[in-house]
Amino acid sequence: MPLPLIISSTDASAEADANHIGGKAAGLIRLTQSGWRVPAFYVISADVLTGAIGPIDTVNDVKSATRQATELAEPIQAFEFPPDLLDELKRVHCHCIGDGKMAAVRSSSVAEDGGKHSFAGIHDSLLGIADHRSIAAAIKTVWLSAISPSAIAYRHAHGLPLLDVSMAVIVQRMIRATRSGVCFTCDPLTGSQESVVIHSLFGIGEGLVSRGFPADSFYVRRSDFSVRSEIVAKPHQILPSCNRQPDGNVSPKAWQPLRQSDVTPETQQLASLSDLEAVELARAAIDVEQQLGGPQDIEFCFDGDGRWYFLQARPVTVLPTQNVVQPPIPERGNHIVWDNSNIIESYSGVTTPMTFSFIRHAYSIVYHCFSEVMGISPKVVDQHRDAFDNMLGLFHGRVYYNLKNWYRLVRMFPGYNYNRGFMESMMGLKQSLFLDETPPPAGRLRRWFVDLPALLKLLLRSSWNFLRIQTIVKRFEQHFYRYYDEWTQIDFSVIPPHEMARLYEMMERKMLWNWKAPIINDFYVMVFYGVLRKLCERWCGDASLQNGLICGQGGLQSDEPAKLLLRMAQTARENQDLFDRIVNDPLEQLPRQIAAEPKFSKFNQQMAIYLEQFGLRCANELKLESFSYQDRPERLYKILRGYLQCENTSLHDLSDMEQREQTIRSQAEQQVAQALSNSRSWFPRRLLFRWVLKNARTGVRNRENMRFARTRIYGILRRMLRSMGQHFADENILDGREDIFYLTIDEVWDFVKGTAVSTDLRGLANCRRREYETYRQEFSPPPGDRFETHGMAYHDNDFCQLPPSNEQASEPSLTGTGCCPGVVSGRAQIVHDPATDSYFKGDILVAERTDPGWVPFFPAFAGILVERGSLLSHSAIVAREMGIPTIVGIQGLTTKLQSGQSIKMDGRTGTVTIVDESWQL
């Protein structure tokens, strides 16, 4: 039995025959018959056009096809619907759409939306038609698009017949949408089916699919339906107009039934979907995928009452199979994702076995203690022992986070979905990770009588620790300096190895097992800083405000070294002889020569204070193999030389620096006050905002000051190990003192205590030194910043960079996270290692990463750009405190810029512009 020429979606017997009604219409019928909410529609079969035109000649070249298309256009334009078909069209239209109701007229080519060729944007669609008399003309307009030059070019590019008039037409009731979007059941860029990807905005979807308006993005993880959202400003929307064309003629160029409208300023920053709506859409889309088979591209909209509709569904075409994330090979298993985001700040490049063995052990102890003190039950802590012991990994001498274990630990605490995002921001992660395993659902009795009491206990303990945080921090500092002051007096060179082994065990017991306060404070900083950012974004419309609000609070030990160096530079400027020596004499001779001169007594006193209080700091200060400023004081003179040679001396004026800090803070506070005063609920909002801000400021200050304690304990351990290395070298156990850093911490003490499984420490150290030297060579490329392994981590894995996420895959740009507001123009200077690079003559510091040891170099620059890092990176916090415009997290920064380029940076928006056109990428 032949199919009717007009098929209504309300006809339960309608057949989804794509050969007659096209793939798009067939998909709509299947959606409707599956019970999904789809706006009513009807389809004019492709047989109507093919019957009117008749057979067409086959052509093989574009020129002939274009000529024949011109000839075919005339009979299509002149086509008149037979009276009986026109009557049926009016009847079905009034039944499905309703006279005077808006309709959308879309193509449904037999070749379209078939899984291989989408014809996206090739065929015409006409929206907002509110007169049934215009429908016939609109149908002919859609038919004509089947033989348009763009359609012919598309067919030629994809090896399809150049002319094909097998075109059905869909006429669908148009929803007065308040929100619209597109839902992909796989990542359209990578092909990964890990998450459902949703893009949405306000108004009709035309703004997204045709106008390219900014849209929000939602990533809904299939395994646990957790949501990661990226909300953008949406200044414009497309809305339907009520225009009618009086003569019935339809031209998509001449008649515009849609209008562009501005979104109100207070609405632009709001999410177009709630997380609940995103999850509901994702669940429905997955069901549609199972019903229709294969990944789907689904258009949807919401009406004014909050009801959502599916407007069309079609297969996702041309999946990039080379980037599809395949599931772990079953027989290998053990899928792990490794990422060096922000740990590269402390452990950049190659890290020695000694440092890695110590920090791996330290991380395990510290986070084990933290979990217990926060109220996690010993049973749960024990269940996660493998996660505590394997938070870090080492590949080609580079340190990485084992991300799955970090997420597992965060999941032990309440509010996982929020805390996960805060952790990602704190760690500077570019891509989220979703755990494959989900806890089995608990029974009702267990939920009420086991899980709920445990949760309440955890919340009470967390709240109690928060209320006592200042007391906890104060007690930690008292405890720390009680032992630190004692250990700084020890001359390790005269202590025998067995005594040093006992001293190390005491240090581990007294320090590592009592390192709870810094981690507890870090947890609260993570939460309050994340909440502050959200409040600035939602209530003030500017997430970057948090940077100015944290600026200039004072009391940070981290910026004291730089400020003391600035005072030393000022002392040198006041003494021409001292100035000339620092600028001109060989650096290696300066510490000894200047210390011997009585006329430089003021400067020498300042230098002595610096070395005593801050001399343990250095670049890569958390690497035990590094040399501190106490070890190499000539490096301080190099910094001072950079200050003295700087032409812009205003950068080194302490009063100007402090004034900049206070100005930035004051402007941010005024902006917040203005934004909150415009709200009807301004009073409770102001109280909450002040409370969050106060705790964020206190937490950041505590965090930086306790980081200095970490630097100091590393300095003690560094001195101890170098003395131990000298003992081993003197006893001919090692070839040299520094070889001890190619052993692990346990191998050293096991050799002393008689528990070593190998006593050839020289052989071990020499073997590892050769291995690590290959890692340092340029011909040995390092692993990617983020990669995955399966099975045995070091066997049959290539450590290659994982493909970027959607947001990273966009066109390259010099954009990062603004940390301190301010606009700076000047020359870029790329610095890889401040200890070895040339003098600093640039206006803007450009670095792949920084650590606390870089802080003294900051005042030599008017602006700072860092490729790696996050808002809570040490460099971001200290630069913000100094009022130096700073941007971190700029992907590919050091490869896209060169020293000497003229650039302009905006520390508020996080953007960098290349000013000199001759340098443009």
Query: pLDDT of 488-541, one tens digit each?
Result: 999 999 999 999 999 999 999 999 888 989 988 888 888 888 889 889 888 888
Token couple for 304:
């004014």
Confidence of residue 544 (pLDDT cuts 50, 70, 90): confident
Report the pLDDT averaged over residues 141-165: 79
Model pLDDT, residue 334? 84
Domain 1-174 is of which CATH architecture? Answer: 2-Layer Sandwich (3.30)
CB 747 within 8 A of CB 541: no
Model pLDDT, residue 203? 92
Cα first-last separation, the chain: 63
pLDDT tens for 435-483 read 655 454 455 666 666 667 767 777 788 788 888 899 999 999 999 999 9
pLDDT at residue 842 is higher than 60: no
Model pLDDT, residue 246? 41
pLDDT at residue 331 is higher than 90: no
Least confident span in 61-65, 171-175, 441-445, 866-870? 441-445
Confidence of residue 484 (pLDDT cuts 50, 70, 90): very high
Task: Tell me the β-bridge partners of 823.
Answer: 906
Residue entry with tokens 């700040």: 345
pLDDT at residue 321 is higher than 60: no
- Tell me the backbone φ, ψ of residue 8, rounded to 5 degrees: -100, 140
**3-state SS assignment for residue 613:** helix
pLDDT tens for 4-26 read 788 888 775 667 677 888 888 88
CB 58 within 8 A of CB 50: no
CB 599 within 8 A of CB 576: no
Q: Cβ neighbours of residue 798 under 8 Å, at least 6 residues apart?
A: 787
Q: How far is CA 867 from CA 57, 526, 803, 809, in A?
A: 59, 21, 18, 17
pLDDT at residue 838 is higher than 80: no
pLDDT at residue 745 is higher than 70: yes
Amino acid identity for residue 766 in this structure: N
CB 102 within 8 A of CB 173: yes
Q: Tell me how far apart the alpha carbons of residues 105 and 89 are, in angstroms, rounded to a whole number.
A: 13
pLDDT tens for 82-141 read 888 888 888 888 888 887 788 889 888 876 644 455 566 578 788 878 776 788 888 988
The percentage of the chain sitting over the pLDDT mark of 90, rounded to a whole number, equals: 31
Residue entry with tokens 């938070």: 391
Model pLDDT, residue 14? 67
pLDDT tens for 206-261 read 888 777 788 899 999 887 788 888 898 899 898 876 544 444 444 443 334 678 88
Give residue limits of the domains in the chain: 1-174
The percentage of the chain sitting over the pLDDT mark of 70, rounded to a whole number, equals: 86
Report the pLDDT averaged over residues 264-270: 88
Torsion of CA 893, 897, 901, 906, to 10 degrees: -20
Model pLDDT, residue 377? 82
645-667 as b/e, with b when 16 or more CB fall inside 10 Å? ebeeeebbeeeebbebbebbbee
pLDDT at residue 779 is higher than 60: no
pLDDT tens for 569-578 read 999 999 999 9
pLDDT tens for 607-628 read 999 999 888 888 788 999 999 9
pTM as predicted? 0.60
**3-state SS assignment for residue 871:** coil
**In what helix (H) or strand (E) does residue 158 lie, and over which residues does it extend?**
none
Token couple for 123:
């065929």
Report the pLDDT averaged over residues 37-52: 89
Higher pLDDT, 809 or 51: 51
pLDDT tens for 516-531 read 899 888 888 888 888 8
Q: How far is CA 655 from CA 567, 651, 666, 824, 884, in A?
A: 11, 10, 16, 20, 14
